[in-house]
């Protein structure tokens, strides 16, 4: 404790010297305590110091510029990854105020970057949008940056201020002049390698998030640019239609049930509400909710308000128009939401979050606001567009019937398994060990690969389940058919966990579920079908990291009786370069079935020598993962082909 105090006093002295002032206010003590606390426990402020936290810094700064856009003063944001992995964010807003703030006795800009929670909150500047972990402010980014430089362009002058690890290194100065009409803010920072485990930015991660931000902020143009050598690229996101276009984007690759995206917008009790929705011909419900542009994966009051409004408005409409007869029961919310893609976006001044991870909106005004706005506008829309009302109603009634049939089928299976005990599928070649922790199951495609897989496995710990041909695409099939499918039933019983509400991870029979298909387009397709099944019925298996994809080699290269295996075209070229082409024999594996037992074991199955890819998914990825699956699964041939050609890029991490 004593040491800590001395350190603090040292810091204060340093700060004083830099400022050249003899006395310091209570404010300054607070500042130092604040930013030191951020450096001591960064996780408290940005969630983690992994790659996720690293990217969070960018969102934090960009969110400030987005606030300025929401207030109506900024049209464009440019985010650049520079060659040293520093980030520069430029906007064309009014510029952070540079005049002295009375209360703090220093420039407002300095306050923004040195006082916790001060980011963006100036009186009367439009929406104050911050919530959850986000909006903790620019000062947190400053505290966690090795250096950070801010430039403000306004009134024909260029102002600049510099910091290092949160402390002022150069006070606010006018460094030059600019065009009188130019205005905006530029923030350039380098995350501190002492704080972050990972310091290399991932373009795709930033791209997904910035695209989402652009969808949520109508008409704002966001450009992401990578200036790192060899991987230079840029993308611009600009959506005049806002979340309406977001829904169209999410429904890409599926057939919409009606041409319009239904859109509701309004304001009530200080809650600004926007909802966009459209049904497609799939059976999945995809609702994404946001509060102040921040994703709320656990939903909350805004989601509840929407569901209530949709169920009531729709049933009322169906009854009034005799689409539902008097003796028929109401359609359930679930039936109405089958195949629905929807974005709910609310903006509130001071949102309250609940739940363990503080990701669930608790503000009750949001429920009332969403409910009344959606009720009123959806009812009006349905009255004006009876053909849409009819299409929705027909689909919901089919959903209702299918759900009843599925319930019957499930009850039957449950009763059957209660009576007979759960038999393992006949085709399963099980392993001997009964400790799930030590066991793995290989799901292999076709019977030809079964032979070598059976012989090449470790009999004690590795089981093999062969599936015949292409498995059912569960995103395009009704539940009752899913329950009827032999291949799917085989997987469910082999895994042991059950599905949906019956899912129980403690019953998992294998610690690793490994999908092993041919290294070609068909194999990638089959792997995706299997992943789609797992993702839809037992997502916890993916979330908890139990699902893997085996990596069989593409080439067998032989020279002087020595074997080399190449897992990609690049690796193949590299090996040839290294060993030379003279006297080298090359064969391409067309499928798993072509490998002999030893080859398959060594290259693909043996934990000592194989490479596995772990399929991973976190809540942030959900939207992107959904798109990945539906693009591949959908009816529209073109995006699917493009997708497969891009080499089945699921969200995958290397498992070493
Ligand atoms: C606040 O109200 C008076 C006029 O300026 C408003 C403001 O703060 N604007 C503003 C802040 N525009 N851009 C920012 C900003 C941009 C970045 C990239 C980072 C930060 C911390 C703020």
DSSP 3-state percent helix, strand, coil across the chain (nearest 5): 40, 20, 35
**Cα–Cα distance, 437 to 432 (Å, whole number):** 13
Residues 309-321: b if buried by 16+ CB within 10 A, e if exposed: bbbbbbbebbeee
Ligand 1 contacts CB of residue 86 (under 6 A)? no
| pLDDT for the residue numbered 16 | 41
C-alpha angle 173-179-183 in degrees, rounded to nearest 5: 70
Summarize the confidence of residues 89-105 as an average pLDDT.
94
Report how far ligand 1's centroid is from the alpha carbon of 51 (Å).
26
* Active site (annotated) includes residue 445: yes
| pLDDT for the residue numbered 532 | 85
Ligand 1 contacts CB of residue 258 (under 6 A)? no
**Cα–Cα distance, 450 to 444 (Å, whole number):** 7
Summarize the confidence of residues 159-183 as an average pLDDT.
97
Ligand 1 contacts CB of residue 101 (under 6 A)? no
pLDDT tens readout for residues 408-436: 777 776 666 655 556 788 889 999 999 99
Report how far ligand 1's centroid is from the alpha carbon of 177 (Å).
19
| pLDDT for the residue numbered 595 | 87
Pairing state of beta strands 555-559 and 585-588? antiparallel
Residue 564 phi/psi, 5-degree rounding, is: -125, 135
The candidate with the shortest Cα–Cα distance to 622, out of 545, 536, 525, is: 536
| pLDDT for the residue numbered 407 | 79
Report how far ligand 1's centroid is from the alpha carbon of 236 (Å).
21
Which atom of ligand 1 lies at the shortest distance from residue 187's CA? 18
Q: State the burial class of residue 222 (Cβ atoms within 10 Å of its Cβ: 0-12, 13-18, 19+).
A: buried
Residue reference for tokens 């109508």? 218
Summarize the confidence of residues 542-550 as an average pLDDT.
89
Instruction: Ligand 1 pocket test: pick from 57, 58, 63, 68 the residue with the most ligand atoms within 8 Å of its Cβ.
Output: 68
| pLDDT for the residue numbered 413 | 64
Residue from 60, 212, 445, 599 carrying the catalytic annotation: 445
Ligand 1 contacts CB of residue 61 (under 6 A)? yes
pLDDT at 30 over 50: no
Report how far ligand 1's centroid is from the alpha carbon of 182 (Å).
14
Residue 488 Cα distances to 213, 327, 494, 495, 530, angstroms? 38, 37, 10, 11, 9
Hey, what are 288's tokens? 């994404």
**Cα–Cα distance, 339 to 581 (Å, whole number):** 55
How does residue 107 score in pLDDT terms, banded at 50, 70 and 90? Answer: very high
pLDDT at 364 over 70: yes
Ligand 1 contacts CB of residue 94 (under 6 A)? yes
| pLDDT for the residue numbered 356 | 77
pLDDT at 9 over 70: no
**Cα–Cα distance, 177 to 102 (Å, whole number):** 26
**Cα–Cα distance, 466 to 546 (Å, whole number):** 19
Q: Percent of the chain scored above 70 by pLDDT?
A: 84
- DSSP per residue over 13-34, as a string? HHHHHHHT-S---HHHHHHHHH
Ligand 1 contacts CB of residue 149 (under 6 A)? no
Residue 335 Cα distances to 21, 284, 309, 403, angstroms? 69, 10, 14, 8
| pLDDT for the residue numbered 644 | 42
CB 264 within 8 A of CB 374: yes
Summarize the confidence of residues 192-197 as an average pLDDT.
97
Tell me if residue 396 falls in helix, strand or coil.
Answer: helix
Tell the residue nearest (CA) to atom 2 of ligand 1.
Answer: 125
Report how far ligand 1's centroid is from the alpha carbon of 395 (Å).
47
Ligand 1 contacts CB of residue 68 (under 6 A)? yes
Residue 384 Cα distances to 320, 325, 380, 638, angstroms? 14, 21, 6, 34
pLDDT at 478 over 80: no
pLDDT tens readout for residues 570-619: 888 889 998 988 889 998 888 888 888 998 999 999 999 888 888 877 65
The mean pLDDT value of the chain amounts to 84
Summarize the confidence of residues 437-462 as an average pLDDT.
91
Ligand 1 contacts CB of residue 122 (under 6 A)? yes
Summarize the confidence of residues 316-341 as an average pLDDT.
93
Alpha-carbon torsion, ordered 27, 30, 34, 35, to 10 deg: 60
**Cα–Cα distance, 506 to 623 (Å, whole number):** 28
Residue from 76, 484, 486, 520 carrying the catalytic annotation: 520
Residue from 186, 480, 522, 620 carrying the catalytic annotation: 522
CB 470 within 8 A of CB 463: no
| pLDDT for the residue numbered 629 | 55
| pLDDT for the residue numbered 432 | 94
Hey, what are 331's tokens? 């359609």
pLDDT tens readout for residues 225-282: 999 999 999 999 999 999 999 999 999 888 999 999 999 999 999 999 999 999 998 8
Strand partners, 133: none
Strand partners, 167: 164
pLDDT tens readout for residues 336-357: 999 999 999 999 988 999 887 7
Length of the chain in residues, anyone?
A: 656
* Active site (annotated) includes residue 522: yes
Ligand 1 contacts CB of residue 89 (under 6 A)? yes
Ligand 1 contacts CB of residue 136 (under 6 A)? no
* Active site (annotated) includes residue 435: no
Name, in order, each residue with C-beta under 8 angstroms of 149's C-beta and a sequence gap of 6 or more: 160, 161, 162, 163, 187, 188, 189
User: Who wins on pLDDT, 469 or 147?
Assistant: 147
Secondary structure of 260-274 as H, E, C letters? CCEEEEEEECCEEEE
Of 125-139, 306-320, 436-450, 606-620, the least confident: 125-139
Report how far ligand 1's centroid is from the alpha carbon of 399 (Å).
49
H helices of 385-518, in order, are 386-420, 450-456, 479-484, 486-495
Which atom of ligand 1 lies at the shortest distance from residue 137's CA? 21
Ligand 1 contacts CB of residue 121 (under 6 A)? no
| pLDDT for the residue numbered 126 | 34
Ligand 1 contacts CB of residue 64 (under 6 A)? yes
pLDDT at 521 over 80: no
Tell the residue nearest (CA) to atom 17 of ligand 1.
Answer: 65
Strands (E) located in 92-196: 100-101, 106-107, 145-154, 157-164, 167-177, 184-191
CB 149 within 8 A of CB 95: no
| pLDDT for the residue numbered 10 | 41
* Active site (annotated) includes residue 349: no
Report how far ligand 1's centroid is from the alpha carbon of 346 (Å).
22
| pLDDT for the residue numbered 5 | 33
| pLDDT for the residue numbered 7 | 39
Report how far ligand 1's centroid is from the alpha carbon of 185 (Å).
7
Report how far ligand 1's centroid is from the alpha carbon of 15 (Å).
25
Hey, what are 369's tokens? 């606001």
Instruction: Ligand 1 pocket test: pick from 57, 59, 61, 64 the residue with the most ligand atoms within 8 Å of its Cβ.
Output: 64
């Amino acid at each position: 404790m004593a040491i800590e105090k001395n350190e603090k006093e040292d810091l204060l002295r340093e700060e004083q010297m830099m400022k050249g002032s003899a006395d310091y206010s209570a404010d300054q003590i607070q500042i130092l305590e604040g930013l030191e606390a951020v450096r001591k426990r960064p996780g408290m402020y940005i969630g983690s110091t992994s790659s996720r936290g690293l990217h969070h810094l960018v969102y934090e700064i960009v969110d400030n510029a987005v606030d300025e856009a929401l207030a109506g003063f900024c049209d464009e944001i440019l985010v650049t990854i520079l060659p040293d992995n520093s980030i520069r964010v430029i906007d064309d807003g009014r510029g952070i105020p540079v005049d002295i703030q009375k209360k703090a006795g220093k420039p407002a800009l300095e306050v923004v970057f040195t006082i916790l929670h001060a980011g963006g909150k100036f009186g009367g500047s439009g929406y104050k949008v911050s919530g959850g972990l986000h909006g903790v402010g620019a000062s947190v980014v400053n505290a966690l940056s090795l250096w950070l430089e801010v430039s403000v362009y306004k009134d024909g002058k260029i102002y600049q201020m510099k910091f290092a690890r949160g402390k002022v290194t150069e006070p606010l100065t006018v460094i030059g002049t600019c065009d009188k009409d130019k205005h905006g803010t530029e923030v350039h920072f380098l995350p501190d390698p002492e704080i972050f485990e990972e310091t290399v930015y991932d373009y795709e991660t930033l791209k997904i998030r910035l695209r989402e931000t652009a969808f949520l902020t109508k008409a704002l143009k966001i450009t992401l640019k990578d200036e790192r050598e060899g991987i230079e690229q840029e993308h611009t996101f600009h959506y005049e239609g806002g979340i309406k276009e977001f829904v169209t984007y999410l429904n890409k690759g599926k057939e919409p049930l009606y041409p319009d995206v239904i859109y509701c917008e309004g304001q009530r009790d200080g809650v600004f509400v926007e909802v966009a929705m459209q049904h497609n011909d799939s059976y999945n419900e995809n609702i994404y909710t946001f509060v102040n542009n921040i994703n709320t994966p656990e939903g909350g009051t805004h989601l509840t308000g929407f569901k209530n409004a949709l169920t009531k408005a729709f049933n009322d409409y169906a009854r009034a128009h005799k689409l539902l007869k008097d003796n028929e029961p109401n359609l359930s919310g679930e039936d109405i939401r089958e195949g629905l893609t929807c974005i709910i976006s609310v903006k509130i001044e001071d949102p309250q979050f609940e739940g363990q991870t503080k990701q669930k909106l608790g503000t009750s005004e949001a429920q009332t606001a969403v409910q009344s706005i959606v009720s009123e506008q959806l009812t009006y829309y349905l009255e004006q567009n009876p053909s849409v009302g009819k299409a929705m109603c027909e689909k919901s009634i089919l959903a209702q019937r299918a759900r009843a049939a599925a319930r019957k089928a499930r009850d039957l299976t449950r009763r059957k398994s209660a009576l007979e005990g759960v038999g393992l599928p006949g085709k399963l070649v099980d392993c001997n060990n009964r400790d799930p922790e030590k066991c793995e199951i290989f799901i292999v495609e076709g019977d030809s690969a079964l032979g070598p897989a059976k012989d090449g496995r470790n009999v004690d710990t590795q089981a093999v389940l062969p599936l015949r041909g292409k498995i059912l695409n569960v995103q395009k099939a009704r539940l009752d058919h899913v329950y009827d499918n032999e291949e799917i039933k085989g997987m469910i019983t082999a895994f042991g966990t059950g599905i949906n509400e019956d899912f129980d991870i403690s019953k998992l029979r294998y610690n690793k579920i490994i999908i092993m298909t041919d290294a070609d387009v068909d194999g990638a397709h089959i792997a995706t079908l299997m992943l789609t099944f797992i993702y839809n019925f037992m997502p916890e298996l993916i979330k908890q990291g139990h699902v893997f994809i085996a990596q069989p080699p593409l080439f067998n290269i032989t020279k002087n009786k020595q074997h080399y295996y190449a897992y990609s075209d690049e690796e193949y070229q590299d090996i040839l370069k290294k060993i030379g082409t003279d006297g080298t024999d090359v064969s391409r594996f067309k499928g798993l079935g072509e490998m002999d037992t030893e080859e398959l074991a060594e290259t693909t199955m043996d934990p000592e020598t194989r490479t596995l890819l772990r399929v991973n998914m976190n809540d942030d990825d959900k939207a992107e993962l959904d798109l990945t699956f539906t693009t591949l699964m959908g009816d529209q041939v073109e995006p699917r082909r493009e997708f497969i050609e891009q080499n089945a890029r699921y969200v995958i991490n290397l498992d070493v």
